[in-house]
Chain A
Amino acid sequence: IQLTQSPSSLSASVGDRVTITCRASQGISISLTWYQQKPGKAPKLLIYGASTLESGVPPRFSGSGSGTDFTLTIAGLQPEDFATYYCQQLESYPRTFGQGTKLEIK
């Protein structure tokens, strides 16, 4: 299953609301997760089951979608949110990731 994220990169300002999209090449129910990765660090799980916030993740992060179309929204960007975001599907094997969306400061 191929995952296509859009946009590939995004410039935004602190306080902005941003949305990242992940589209699957076939239906994956809600078996989708979102990760945040900062340079030199391992990815960090943000959202699982398409919309469930991982423990400890700020509520400004939210996820939605099912089937083939999913979104990650960050409401009120904070300086620490500038990073690269990946989606991953766990509906079938092999597990696959989107190509990533790099969120940069405007």
Chain B
Amino acid sequence: QVQLEESGPGLVKPSETLSLTCSVSGGSVSSGTYCWSWIRQSPGKGLEWIGFSYYSGGTNYNPSLMSRVTISVDTSKNRFSLKLTSVTAADTAVYYCAREGGHRYGLDVWGQGTTVTVSS
């Protein structure tokens, strides 16, 4: 079965760029039917959808983050990535990568999550 695993720095300085990678195993990121997604959860808070990318490169982002976020898919390494620029303490959260099967199917596979703290 498909498994996802996030990786990246757990500590990022304010104003710098947060970069995370989600490695896909047990399946191919090149499947045309899935949206490779990022979701975050601030401490003690609910879930916030960041956005997704298709393997073809098409993307959709949350307008609240659109000016700072880039999600991309690397088919050669079977993984996808998140970049969030100009971070502040408000970006401190657990970041999850997930697979969305489309508007009828939801986020059916999730990574375990990785904690990112923004602090100097």
Contacts and interface: CB of A to CB of B under 8 A. Distances in A.
Interface in B75-109: 96, 98, 100-108
Contact of A30 (B96, B100, B104, B110): B104
B96 A42 contact: yes
A44 interface: yes
A90 B104 CA distance: 7
Contacts of A91: 103
Given A42-B111, A42-B112, A42-B113, A90 B106 contact: yes
Contacts of A43: 47, 96, 107, 110
Contacts of B102: 90
Interface residues of B, number: 25
A87 to B, nearest CB: 10
A21 interface: no
A97 B49 contact: yes
Given A42-B96, A42-B112, A43-B110, A48 B47 contact: no
A88 B46 contact: no
Residue with the highest number of chain B CB atoms closer than 10 Å, among A43, A44, A54: A43
B106 A97 contact: no
B112 A48 contact: no
Contacts of B60: 93-94
Contacts of B105: 33, 48-49, 90
Q: 4 shortest A-B CB distances, which residue pairs?
A: A33-B106, A42-B110, A90-B103, A95-B49
